[in-house]
Structure formats: structure tokens, C-alpha cells
């Protein structure tokens, strides 16, 4: 088992050999390069946490919809204050996650 990166689009393939063609961009097998041990280790170590960051962002997006509904209902000021705080906190955290994942991509911790 090894990792192969498409030289055209960056798609990462897990397997014993490169695929006949890239599932994403259709580039031929010759465009794939086997990743060295260090690059492979970075990707394998970061996959789980990258997926968790993405899942957290998805959950926070759902939470934001609920907070917006609470604001629209406008039941009373303390109720709206909680919704405002939830929107602020989740927005900041989602943006932090985006910045972190962008850093992972630039450092080869993605794929």
C-alpha cells in the first residue's frame, strides 16, 4: 500500500499502484508519482484530524441556522443575546478551522 499523487490536479490515490487514469481529472497513469515516506506519513497522520475539523465545521453551520431562527423569533433580549454569542463563536471557530486546514494543505498534510 502506498500513496500516489496526480501531477495534474493533486488527487491522492491509495493503492499498490497508480490508477490507470485519475478519477478527478482523467490524467493518465504516467502523471502519477509515488509519494516518499515522509510525505506519505504527513498525509496519513493528518487525515483523521482534517476530517474531524470538516465535521465540526458542518455541525457549527447547523448550529448557526438554529441561532438565526432564535434571533428571528426574537422572544426576548437574553434569548437573542445567546443566539448572537453562538453566531460569533461559531463564525470565529469555523474561520480558524479554515485557516488551519489551509496551513495543512500548504505543509503537505492533506490528501
Q: Which residues contact Zn ion (rule: CB under 5 A)?
A: 6, 8-9, 11, 22, 24-25, 27
CB of 13 to Zn ion, least distance (A): 9
**Spatial CA neighbour of 70 closest among 86, 58, 90, 92:** 86
**Rg of the chain taking only CA atoms, in angstroms:** 20
Looking at beta carbons only, is 16 or 30 nearer to Zn ion? 30
Nearer to Zn ion, 9 or 54 (CB): 9
CB of 7: closest distance to Zn ion in angstroms?
A: 8
Please say whether the beta carbons of 64 and 91 come within 8 A: yes
For residue 89, give the nearest of 60, 56, 53 by alpha carbon.
60
Minimum CB distance to Zn ion smaller for 29 or for 71: 29
Output the smallest distance, CB 6 to Zn ion, in A.
3
For residue 111 the three cell numbers come to 490528501
Amino acid at each position: 500500500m502506498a500513496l500516489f499523487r496526480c501531477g495534474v490536479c493533486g488527487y491522492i490515490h491509495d493503492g499498490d499502484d497508480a490508477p490507470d487514469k485519475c478519477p478527478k481529472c482523467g490524467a493518465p497513469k504516467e502523471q502519477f508519482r509515488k509519494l516518499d515516506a515522509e510525505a506519505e506519513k504527513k498525509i496519513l497522520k493528518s487525515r483523521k484530524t482534517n476530517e474531524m475539523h470538516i465535521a465540526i465545521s458542518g455541525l457549527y453551520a447547523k448550529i448557526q441556522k438554529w441561532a438565526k431562527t432564535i434571533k428571528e423569533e426574537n422572544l426576548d433580549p437574553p434569548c437573542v443575546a445567546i443566539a448572537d454569542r453562538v453566531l460569533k463563536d461559531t463564525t470565529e471557530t469555523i474561520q480558524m478551522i479554515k485557516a488551519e486546514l489551509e496551513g495543512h494543505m500548504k505543509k503537505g498534510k492533506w490528501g
